[in-house]
């Protein structure tokens, strides 16, 4: 045996110390996993897939949440997070609202407590994918969620399909999310470009007439382009033309040059597809440039907190398509329960982002209970049965072909500040339009779901 040089011996000593740490960590980790886990995994006739069965073998399951807490969509992301947290609290305690949506739920999901990990995506796809990859490998997440930017939603769709971990979508308005970028492992609860356009266009045509000239403000990514395209498609038959389409980057610091183009375009209607703080800033600056005095503003894809943030009654008389507005609680008992529970916990009326996240988790809990297992292909098949689900906007169901929820779109109109009854009474509900008639054919946007395994 040759004598080791000192430096190598030293090295091997540090290595062995590291190995000791690893062993200790392994022991500690092993202590958390209950006995029988490994044998059960082998005993089951199904091969392991994604984080199954490792992720659901303990007394709790982990869900990875990414929301934008910084950047242009921070306000909306923070609100969505509250919806997720409320849902988890309700699921774990077996709240009566969850039991209405998921009748088989007692406490937790299949008796397991739900734990969440939260990461800031900054509405950037790469950051969301990084965080969720970590949640999947380190925490064995059984479910991931995120969005607010459709670019994030599409990226997480792909991650979910690759890693074979279920993904329920946060806010995402792009047609692509359940269209050309749809996946077997992804599901979307909320409305999107197509359904928004199909719902709001007839009302715009009825209100403003035929043969109008429209100017668009479009954020430069999948959400903006698909929503603008859907609006143009639905307004064209009534003779509406696009006189200008101002495409701007996400988080543009100033809209003056775009708004000058709009002001000089001779448009009658300004259709603002911008979202988050971009919508706030572009509407405020449109007012500064006198654009709102010359043309009518329309928001085809509603932005949570928009009326409050733009201030000054700028949303008065403005039509918007949305997913949820709290005053529909007069019509839907589950909405009433949700609004009350949310307001009790957070002190304000929930916006549609929070409702979306709540419903996404609640419906996932229902599907796992229905499947009786966390085994992803079985949970997916439970979604694909398309059973009627009671929700905060009435009865809804998933389409098996593209994993899109068939649900109504709500058209609201901004109230004049003097007509508001209370400080959060920003909108009148104009119409609640059933989902069936608003949807495109399942394959119209090129959806191919991909494999179960």
Partner 1 sequence: MISWPNFVSQLFNGLALGALLALISSGLTIIYGTLGVLNLAHGAMFMLGGYAGYVAYTYTGSFVVAVVAASISVMVLGVLMERVIIRHFYHRPHEDQLLVTFGLSICFVEIARLIFGSLSLTVPPPLLFAGITSLGFLFYPTYRLAAVGIIAVALLALFLVLYRTRLGMIVRAGIEDAVMVDSLGINVYRVFMVVFGIGAMAAGFAGIINAPIVSLTPDMGEAILVQTFVVVVIGGVGSFPGAVLGGLIAGEIISLTSMVNPGYAYVMLFAVMTLVLVVRPHGLLGTRGRE
Instruction: Classify residue 302 by its DSSP letter.
Output: -
Q: What is d(CA 426, CA 370) in angstroms, rounded to the nearest whole number?
A: 39
User: Taking the complex as a whole, how short is the minimal distance between the CB of residue 74 and partner 1, in angstroms?
Assistant: 4
Q: Which long-range contacts (CB under 8 A, 24 or more apart) does 258-263 make?
A: 258/217, 258/282, 259/285, 259/286, 259/289, 259/291, 260/289, 262/215, 262/217, 262/286, 262/291, 262/295, 263/289, 263/290, 263/291, 263/294
Task: Using the minimum distance from each CB to partner 1, give the nearer residue, 57 or 76.
Answer: 76
Task: Using the minimum distance from each CB to partner 1, give the nearer residue, 117 or 251.
Answer: 251
User: Taking the complex as a whole, how short is the minimal distance between the CB of residue 423 and partner 1, in angstroms?
Assistant: 14
Task: Using the minimum distance from each CB to partner 1, give the nearer residue, 140 or 277.
Answer: 277
User: Taking the complex as a whole, how short is the minimal distance between the CB of residue 17 and partner 1, in angstroms?
Assistant: 30
Check: CB of residue 193 under 8 Å from CB of residue 222.
no
Task: Using the minimum distance from each CB to partner 1, give the nearer residue, 56 or 66.
Answer: 66
Q: State whether residue 360 is helix, strand or coil.
A: helix
Task: Using the minimum distance from each CB to partner 1, give the nearer residue, 5 or 253.
Answer: 253
Task: Using the minimum distance from each CB to partner 1, give the nearer residue, 247 or 432.
Answer: 247
Task: Report the interface residues with partner 1, using CB under 8 A.
Answer: 69-72, 74-75, 78, 220, 244, 246-249, 251-254, 256-258, 260-261, 263-265, 277, 280-281, 284-285, 288-290, 305, 308-309, 311
- H-helix or E-strand spanning residue 382: helix 376-384
CB proximity list for 41: less than 8 A, separation 6 or greater: 48, 53, 54, 57
Q: What is d(CA 89, CA 95) in angstroms, rounded to the nearest whole number?
A: 8
User: Taking the complex as a whole, how short is the minimal distance between the CB of residue 254 and partner 1, in angstroms?
Assistant: 6
Instruction: Classify residue 3 by its DSSP letter.
Output: P
Give 355: exposed, middle or buried? Use CB within 10 Å, 0-12, 13-18, 19+: buried
User: Taking the complex as a whole, how short is the minimal distance between the CB of residue 341 and partner 1, in angstroms?
Assistant: 22
User: Taking the complex as a whole, how short is the minimal distance between the CB of residue 77 and partner 1, in angstroms?
Assistant: 8
Q: State whether residue 48 is helix, strand or coil.
A: coil
């Amino acid at each position: 045996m040759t004598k080791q040089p000192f430096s190598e011996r030293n090295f091997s000593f540090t290595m062995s110390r590291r190995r000791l740490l690893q062993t200790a960590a392994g022991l500690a980790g092993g202590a958390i996993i209950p006995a029988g886990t490994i044998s059960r995994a082998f005993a089951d006739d199904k091969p392991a897939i994604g984080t199954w069965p490792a992720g659901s073998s303990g007394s709790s399951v982990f869900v990875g949440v990414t929301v934008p807490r910084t950047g242009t969509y921070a306000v909306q992301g923070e609100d969505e997070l509250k919806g997720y947290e409320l849902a988890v609290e309700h699921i774990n305690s077996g709240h009566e609202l969850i039991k209405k949506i998921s009748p088989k739920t007692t406490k937790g999901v299949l008796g397991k407590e739900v734990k969440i990990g939260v990461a800031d995506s900054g509405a950037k796809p790469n950051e969301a994918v990084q965080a969720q990859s970590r949640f999947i490998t380190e925490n064995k997440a059984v479910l991931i969620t995120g969005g607010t930017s459709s670019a994030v939603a599409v990226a997480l769709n792909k991650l979910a399909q690759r890693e074979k971990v279920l993904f329920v979508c946060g806010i995402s308005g792009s047609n692509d999310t359940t269209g050309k970028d749809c996946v077997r492992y992804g599901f979307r609860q909320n409305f999107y470009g197509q359904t928004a356009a199909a719902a709001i266009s007839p009302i715009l045509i009825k209100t403003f007439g035929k043969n109008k000239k429209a100017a668009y403000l479009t954020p430069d990514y999948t959400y903006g382009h698909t929503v603008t395209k859907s609006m143009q498609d639905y307004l064209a038959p009534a003779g509406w033309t696009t006189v200008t389409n101002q495409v701007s980057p996400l988080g543009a610091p100033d809209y003056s040059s775009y708004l000058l183009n709009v002001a000089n375009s001779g448009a009658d209607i300004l259709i603002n597809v911008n979202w988050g703080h971009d919508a706030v800033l572009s509407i405020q600056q449109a007012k500064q440039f006198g654009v709102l005095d010359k043309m009518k503003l329309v928001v085809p894809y509603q932005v949570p907190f928009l009326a409050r943030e733009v201030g000054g009654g700028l949303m008065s008389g403005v039509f918007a398509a949305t997913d949820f507005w709290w005053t529909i609680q007069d019509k839907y008992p589950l909405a009433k329960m949700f609004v009350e529970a949310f307001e009790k916990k957070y002190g304000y009326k929930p916006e549609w982002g929070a409702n979306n996240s709540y419903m996404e988790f609640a419906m996932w809990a229902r599907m796992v209970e229905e499947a009786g297992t966390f085994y992803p292909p079985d949970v997916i098949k439970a979604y694909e049965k398309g059973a009627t689900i009671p929700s905060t906007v009435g009865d809804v169901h998933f389409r098996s072909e593209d994993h899109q929820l068939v649900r109504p779109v709500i058209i609201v109109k901004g109230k004049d500040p003097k007509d508001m009854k209370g400080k959060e009474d920003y909108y009148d509900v104009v119409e609640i339009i059933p989902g069936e008639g608003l949807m495109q054919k399942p394959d119209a946007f090129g959806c191919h779901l991909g494999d179960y395994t």
